[in-house]
Amino acid sequence: NAGVTQTPKFQVLKTGQSMTLQCAQDMNHEYMSWYRQDPGMGLRLIHYSVGAGITDQGEVPNGYNVSRSTTEDFPLRLLSAAPSQTSVYFCATKSLSSGANVLTFGAGSRLTVL
Amino acid sequence: AQSVAQPEDQVNVAEGNPLTVKCTYSVSGNPYLFWYVQYPNRGLQFLLKYITGDNLVKGSYGFEAEFNKSQTSFHLKKPSALVSDSALYFCAVRDMKVTSGTYKYIFGTGTRLKVLA
């Protein structure tokens, strides 16, 4: 049981490049979300999804795209990376049907944009 | 607007002493409150939660938290700190604005706990 798997763990990009951060879960959780963690800012919600085909914006969505074609995967796309997107990104999931209200986090992806 | 505040960036405590990490919240309605811990280079791990019921909630690794509605606080406590408790601690509240079955979690800025041997 892998839980929440994020890839890659580390990535360095140049300004203007595009990339996708992957998030996969094997817990059949309906809810999936992306956060970014910055010093002094805590965790801020980027996008989230409550099921395949359904996504919505969080607190800081600009510069990021998401899609949810399957229950298991929730990729985060940066179409044109900017230095302000240098951060640690976390995927978090939750079961909506169990009522547990507890998020399960991946190990994180550290992104540096030069 | 829903919000969470962690007033201390860092808390230092000697091993064996009691520890408190503070959290205050602002929500409309009854809050769902959480504490998570982050060890270096790891994702966040759930410690404990308050949904309803007893104001003193017990969680993992000997941690507990006290919900105080009048002071809108949810402080994390442990009677005797261990060096291995050193980590980054986050308080969170579930945004209770439910629209079309969607909802969000709001995190505080985090408090770094340093337990000194």
Question: pLDDT of A27-83, one tens digit each?
Answer: 999 999 999 999 888 899 999 999 999 999 988 999 999 999 999 999 999 999 999
Is A88 in CB contact (< 8 Å) with chain B?
Answer: no
| Residue A103 to residue B105, Cβ atoms within 8 A | yes
| Residue A56 to residue B46, Cβ atoms within 8 A | no
Distances (CA, A) of A5 to A47, A70, A104, B25: 17, 15, 11, 31
Average pLDDT score over residue span B40-58: 91
**B75/chain A closest Cα distance in angstroms:** 17
Give the one of A4, A50, A107 whose C-beta lies nearest to B102's C-beta.
A50
Which residues in B lie closer than 8 A to residue A42 (C-beta atoms)? 6, 90, 107-110
Average pLDDT score over residue span B34-61: 92
Peptide bond into A83 cis (omega under 30): no
pLDDT of residue B105: 87
Average pLDDT score over residue span A2-27: 96
Core vs surface per residue B80-98: b (16+ CB within 10 A) or e: ebeeebbbbbbbbbbbeee
Q: Encode pLDDT of B60-115 as tens digits.
A: 999 999 999 999 999 999 999 999 999 999 999 987 655 544 567 889 999 999 99
pLDDT of residue B100: 45
pLDDT of residue B99: 54
